[in-house]
Amino acid sequence: MRQQPTSLFTDHYELTMLQASLRSGAAHRRSVFEAFSRRLPEGRRYGVVAGTGRVLEALERFRFSTEELDFLSDNAVVDDPTLEFLRDFRFSGSIHGYAEGELYFPHSPLLTVESTFAEACILETLILSILNHDSAIASAASRMVAAAHGRPCVEMGSRRTQEESAVAAARAAVIAGFSSTSNLEAGFRYGLPTVGTAAHSFTLLHDSERAAFEAQVASLGRDTTLLVDTYDVEEGVRTAVEVAGPELGAVRLDSGDLVDQARWVRVLLDDLGNHNTRIMVTSDLDEYAIAALQSAPVDAYGVGTSLVTGSGAPTASMVYKLVSRQDDSGEFVDVAKAAKNKASVGGRKQAVRRINERGRATAELVGVGFRPEADSNDRQLLVPLVLDGEVQPGFTGAEGVRRAAERHRASIQELPGVARKLQKGEPVIQTELITR
Amino acid sequence: MRQQPTSLFTDHYELTMLQASLRSGAAHRRSVFEAFSRRLPEGRRYGVVAGTGRVLEALERFRFSTEELDFLSDNAVVDDPTLEFLRDFRFSGSIHGYAEGELYFPHSPLLTVESTFAEACILETLILSILNHDSAIASAASRMVAAAHGRPCVEMGSRRTQEESAVAAARAAVIAGFSSTSNLEAGFRYGLPTVGTAAHSFTLLHDSERAAFEAQVASLGRDTTLLVDTYDVEEGVRTAVEVAGPELGAVRLDSGDLVDQARWVRVLLDDLGNHNTRIMVTSDLDEYAIAALQSAPVDAYGVGTSLVTGSGAPTASMVYKLVSRQDDSGEFVDVAKAAKNKASVGGRKQAVRRINERGRATAELVGVGFRPEADSNDRQLLVPLVLDGEVQPGFTGAEGVRRAAERHRASIQELPGVARKLQKGEPVIQTELITR
């Protein structure tokens, strides 16, 4: 039993708003909430939607058992009628959203929750936590994959982020095109391929670098990856080749000037006859370092810290806003706050990506209160994720990750080439908010 | 049942190194691993150790059940002898470390793990994930608390970080001096006080701002906090006072020029006779914004994004290194890698904070292989956390958080006043690595 309830990943105010609205009666008004972002992280050309599958997995575990209810009662968080409401809670509304792996732009309506206010209100924090984290990681990962131009990127950042974030980050990275992860729990939960090399401690544990390499090759085979920079890199490479022979899988370089080192290590490996031995580099890589290493004979990038911290943008800035709700007569009313610098646009949104005849994305069309007209090339972006409380198949677990990675590959190919630029700039396509 | 195993929060290579060292026999060498950081985040004056209690909680759940073993076997991560080793795994070594809440500086030996290589090696990722995340958050939180000079800071960042990170962040923030959190799960697990106000959606749900305030006050009492900036702030404040009367608890401002607004809202509240109604401000606050608001009549700060992302430093840079291990004769040998720009210092460290006669910290003394001489004012920094596999009492759960917060308060008071400066600078005390 590895699954815990998700119902307390919730801000205190959601349950007190629930209580107050149950009392006023407004809790039962049908409502539409939307998750979106007003902007991309500074200078990014596009964002990547990730976490959708995890939202659905978490929704299925959003239950209040006796333990949670006792906590809420003992601490007087909410009153008895509210506890009664939560006791049998099971989300019964519908959720549409961008498919996981899809790209997003400012004001893209990423996730639309339709239900009573009561049901939608208490999901706010959980939905935003997942989308904001996972999308930040996937957005950074996608740039790294683009910079690597087909060379594999391996996710190795678990140690630099919270232990559960590490699992989510590995999942988001693979959705955005990473080939594999070092995180075993991510392999366990989502079927991601896991890989590993060796640490300096393994070399230091043995009486010599040679003894360590011999131990590793004896146990893991000649196709293993040997870490060659614990002492002297040239000696490390020579010893590795002596121990493993021409079938040595790879060497890993983890320090120093990697561009220069990769070049002469490649020459040395070739001189020693190890033409098929690959070179993997690690050590605080980000998309810019990967781009700089493209001219070097590198076969794989191991990326850690900068991936799991979103390469300067550790969270997306998604918000979750009430945009429409019933009035006493049952009519839907568009609503929006007017607060300075945080104004939003009321009304339920529909979205289409405009695709030209050459298959290139040219605009994000967002209809306010209606579905924008779509040409034959255009793509409707909102897909049903939950219908009347039923999570739709194909979005969760290993299948969800696989499909999200496919979606991401296809959506990236639609973008104009400027999307691959690492320099800061404007979103690569503009969002057109259309009102009738 | 809310507890899941932690044994797969582990990088693939730890288990393959385990396999290779079991085969070479070196796995059984007694070893000393240390967690430390070579540097503070750029410009910070001190770091805050957090996560220690969570490491101990996670250690007690570091078990391989059939589910985990089947995964490792089905995916050929490790061989059968390694699976056998893991089947009965229970950490039997000892761990000493800085008490949670303590301050740290470059090369402070934060956590020392003594056991066989096999046992210590497979804890690397879990220990670093927890310490790197939690310490980054606590280090940022401590600066915010210092900037707030006694005004309460409330942690409200759950939506901007992964859902489990949110719980860890709330815990770390309270250790560093935050008064409370909005995160209910953090309240549930660690007994942290939880608080909440209301969202704009609650106002928009009702037919008018007045109807929303009436609903909130009817349900939550006059002492509640009303959010007054959904439409027009002045009208919002007037309506709030009309609805709740002089006993209105607080108003929350979440947009616009908060310094200016707080000033005239205070005047308005006083004019209306609401001298005891407090003003809470939120909206992308960080330590600099808090400092700028100190001149304004603000009663509490709600801090979100910048807290949970470490205010520019979302991860600490702690590493976990083998510093000493037995050789074949059973003698301990100090070890360290020589790799460029990542060299480390071999040998088990002991640490003392030098405190002068006025009670001020003046240096971090780190003895390599011996315990530095301590004067009567000085403090020994390493405390026993696990002895022969037994987690020592007082560090986990709610008690652990309470003690860590006390430790933090006491340690901060020892620092020279320059520690409170927000500008970038050098560590406020220097680390002296002492070899004999």
The ipTM is 0.97
- Report the residue from A125, A182, A214 with minimal CB separation from B13: A182
Averaged pLDDT for residues B324-352: 87
Q: Is B57 on the interface with A (CB under 8 A)?
A: no
pLDDT over 90 percentage in chain B: 95
Mark whether B123 and B207 lie in a shared domain: no
Read off the amino acid at residue A419. Answer: A
Q: Confidence band (pLDDT; 50, 70, 90) for B338? A: confident
Beta carbons of A206 and A233 less than 8 angstroms apart: no
Hunting for tokens 């809310």 — which residue is that? B2
At residue A394, the 3 state secondary structure works out as coil
What Rg, from alpha-carbon coordinates, does chain B have? 25
- Report the residue from A77, A184, A200 with minimal CB separation from B194: A77
Mark whether A338 and A423 lie in a shared domain: yes
Gap from A363 CA to chain B (nearest CA, Å): 28
CA A82 from chain center: how many Å? 34
Q: Is B267 on the interface with A (CB under 8 A)?
A: no
Mark whether A232 and A258 lie in a shared domain: yes
pLDDT in tens, B324-337: 999 999 999 999 98
CB contact under 8 A, B220 and A19: yes
- Report the residue from A158, A201, A328 with minimal CB separation from B125: A158
Largest pairwise CA distance in chain A: 83
β A382-387/A390-391 pair status: antiparallel
Q: What is the 3-state secondary structure (H, E, C) of chain B?
A: CCCCCCCCCCEHHHHHHHHHHHHHCHHHCEEEEEEEECCCCCCCCCEECCCHHHHHHHHHCCCCCHHHHHHHHHCCCCCHHHHHHHHCCCCCCEEEEECCCCEECCCCCCEEEEEEHHHHHCCHHHHHHHHHHHHHHHHHHHHHHHHHCCCCEEECCHHHCCHHHHHHHHHHHHHCCCCEECEHHHHHHHCCCECCCCCHHHHHHCCCHHHHHHHHHHHHCCCCEEECCCCCHHHHHHHHHHHHHHHCCEEEECCCCHHHHHHHHHHHHHHCCCCCCEEEECCCCCHHHHHHHHHCCCCEEEECHHHHCHHHCCCCCEEEEEEEEECCCCCEEECCCCCCCCCCCCCCEEEEEEECCCCCEEEEEEEECCCCCCCCCCEECEEEEEECCEECCCCCHHHHHHHHHHHHHHHHHHCCHHHHCCCCCCCCCEEEEECC
Rounded CA separation A174/A76 (Å): 43
337-376 of A, contacting B, C-beta below 8 A: 337-342
Report the half-sphere exposure of A105 (CA within 13 A, side-chain side).
24
Gap from A420 CA to chain B (nearest CA, Å): 25
Rounded CA separation A410/A381 (Å): 13
Mark whether A263 and A364 lie in a shared domain: no
pLDDT in tens, A315-374: 999 999 999 999 999 999 999 987 655 667 899 999 999 999 999 999 999 999 999 998
Kindly report whether the global pTM for this prediction surpasses the value 0.90: yes
Chain B residues within an 8 Å CB radius of A190: none
Mark whether B27 and B81 lie in a shared domain: yes
Contacts of B47 (CB under 8 A, 6+ apart): B37, B40, B41, B103, B104, B105, B135, B139, B316
- Residue to test with chain B: of A77, A184, A213, A281, most B Cβ within 10 A: A184
Phi, psi of A80 (to 5 degrees): -65, -45
**What residues pair up with A252 in beta bridges, in sequence order?**
A227, A280
Whether the predicted pLDDT of B2 surpasses 60: no
- Residue to test with chain B: of A163, A167, A333, most B Cβ within 10 A: A163
Residue of B nearest to A121 (CA): B201
Find the DSSP H helices in A328-414: 397-414
User: Per this entry, what is the length of chain A?
Assistant: 436
Dig out the tokens for A153 from the structure: 């990127």
Beta carbons of A214 and A243 less than 8 angstroms apart: yes
State which of B303, B323, B355 marks the end of a domain.
Answer: B303
Mark whether B226 and B299 lie in a shared domain: yes
228-257 of B, contacting A, C-beta below 8 A: 229-232, 254-256
Gap from A315 CA to chain B (nearest CA, Å): 6
69-108 of B, contacting A, C-beta below 8 A: 71-72, 75, 77, 79
Residue A96: inside a domain: yes
Chain B residues within an 8 Å CB radius of A20: 198, 202, 215-216, 218-220
| Residue B359: closest CA among B414, B409, B406, B411 | B414
Beta carbons of B86 and B69 less than 8 angstroms apart: yes
CB contact under 8 A, A188 and B117: no
Gap from B177 CA to chain A (nearest CA, Å): 20
Rounded CA separation B11/B324 (Å): 22
Gap from A209 CA to chain B (nearest CA, Å): 11
Gap from A356 CA to chain B (nearest CA, Å): 36
Contacts of B185 (CB under 8 A, 6+ apart): A8, A9, A10, B166, B167
Rounded CA separation A349/B126 (Å): 42
Mark whether B16 and B114 lie in a shared domain: yes
CB contact under 8 A, B11 and A158: yes
Dig out the tokens for A48 from the structure: 């990547």
Mark whether B260 and B338 lie in a shared domain: no
Rounded CA separation B117/B27 (Å): 5
Gap from B156 CA to chain A (nearest CA, Å): 8
Gap from A406 CA to chain B (nearest CA, Å): 23
Residue of A nearest to B69 (CA): A188
Hunting for tokens 């049901």 — which residue is that? A119
Give pLDDT, residue A342: 63
CB contact under 8 A, B75 and A194: yes
Positive or negative, the CA dihedral B219, B220, B224, B229 is: negative
**What residues pair up with B434 in beta bridges, in sequence order?**
B367
Beta carbons of A24 and B211 less than 8 angstroms apart: yes
Report the half-sphere exposure of B393 (CA within 13 A, side-chain side).
0
**What residues pair up with A383 in beta bridges, in sequence order?**
A97
Between CA A166 and CA A174, with CA A168 as vertex, the angle to 5 degrees is 100
Total domains in chain A come to: 2
Mark whether B407 and B389 lie in a shared domain: yes
Whether the predicted pLDDT of B199 surpasses 80: yes
Gap from A374 CA to chain B (nearest CA, Å): 32
| Residue B312: closest CA among B140, B176, B138 | B140
Residue of A nearest to B197 (CA): A13
Q: CATH no. for residue A221?
A: 3.20.20.70
Residue B142: inside a domain: no
Beta carbons of A414 and A361 less than 8 angstroms apart: yes
Chain B residues within an 8 Å CB radius of A225: none
Mark whether B329 and B427 lie in a shared domain: yes
Each residue of A19-42: b (16+ CB within 10 Å) or e? Answer: bbbbbbebbebbbbbbbbbeebbe
State which of A280, A303, A326 marks the end of a domain.
Answer: A303
Read off the amino acid at residue A272. Answer: L
Residue B295: inside a domain: yes
Residue A150: inside a domain: no
Mark whether A344 and A271 lie in a shared domain: no
CB contact under 8 A, B130 and A163: yes
| Residue A180: closest CA among B228, B122, B77, B327 | B77
State which of B277, B303, B329 marks the end of a domain.
Answer: B303
Residue B159: inside a domain: no
Give pLDDT, residue B1: 43
Q: Is B335 on the interface with A (CB under 8 A)?
A: yes
Residue B172: inside a domain: no
Residue A205: inside a domain: yes
CB contact under 8 A, B194 and A12: yes
Beta carbons of B212 and B200 less than 8 angstroms apart: no
Whether the predicted pLDDT of B13 surpasses 90: yes
Q: Is B211 on the interface with A (CB under 8 A)?
A: yes
Residue A251: inside a domain: yes
- Report the residue from A75, A133, A254 with minimal CB separation from B187: A75
Residue B261 structural domain:
196-303
Contacts of B284 (CB under 8 A, 6+ apart): B304, B305, B306
Rounded CA separation A94/A115 (Å): 7
Averaged pLDDT for residues B98-123: 98
Between CA B344 and CA B351, with CA B349 as vertex, the angle to 5 degrees is 125
Q: Is B201 on the interface with A (CB under 8 A)?
A: yes
- Report the residue from A160, A187, A218 with minimal CB separation from B132: A160
Q: CATH no. for residue B368?
A: 3.20.140.10
Cβ contacts from A onto B, under 8 A: 364
Mark whether B295 and B320 lie in a shared domain: no
Residues of chain A with pLDDT under 50: 1
Give pLDDT, residue B342: 63
Beta carbons of A81 and A157 less than 8 angstroms apart: no
